[in-house]
Amino acid sequence: MTANELLTLPGHDASRPTPSPDPTPSLAQAVEQVLRDLQPRAATLDAELIIELALNAAQAEPGPLPAILGHLVENSLDAVARAARGPWDETPHQVLVTVDRQAERIILAVTDTGDGLDPSILDTHGRVIIGRSTKPGRTGLGLRLVRDTVEQHDGHLSIDNVPNAGVHAEIDLPVNTGRNARAA
């Protein structure tokens, strides 16, 4: 069917322009989509994905945050799966995502109740050591890509790690990071 044929279908008002879809989703839409995509995996792990999105951050441009969020939540789900201690375990299996805006910065945090990171993959300042993973079959590139992407967009990644108790990863990026990234 051609575009002209579609325009002549019953119920179509040719006098009203068809709104074009917004090509750039808001940060809220992008975050919700990432979590919607990961929800089935979380459900199989009996893990709860929780989102707290500040209203002042919701309409910001997402920039690289969806890809970063995807990596961090995937890592958190892996950690929650490893931390499952059996049916007697009362520990909530949770991944909490918070997004806030402070002045012209977006603060994204992912906190989990997993088994934490192996301390050997972090330096003494909590920075991820490049390309190192202690997980079988994994390269450690996920956290490396997160760190590199954040730094390319004039941001900062910090990781608070408590082995056997969880991780809190926090990203701080300029609000319009999609438009003002440094050349790689």
The model's pTM: 0.75
SS3 161: strand
Instruction: Indicate the pairing of strand 166-174 with strand 48-53.
Output: unpaired
What pLDDT is attached to residue 6? 39
- pLDDT at site 117: 81
d(CA 1, CA 6): 7
Domains and CATH numbers, the chain: 25-174 (3.30.565.10)
Q: What is the pLDDT of residue 3?
A: 40
pLDDT less than 70: residues of the chain: 1-24, 85-89, 123-141, 177-184
- Which amino acid, residue 176? N
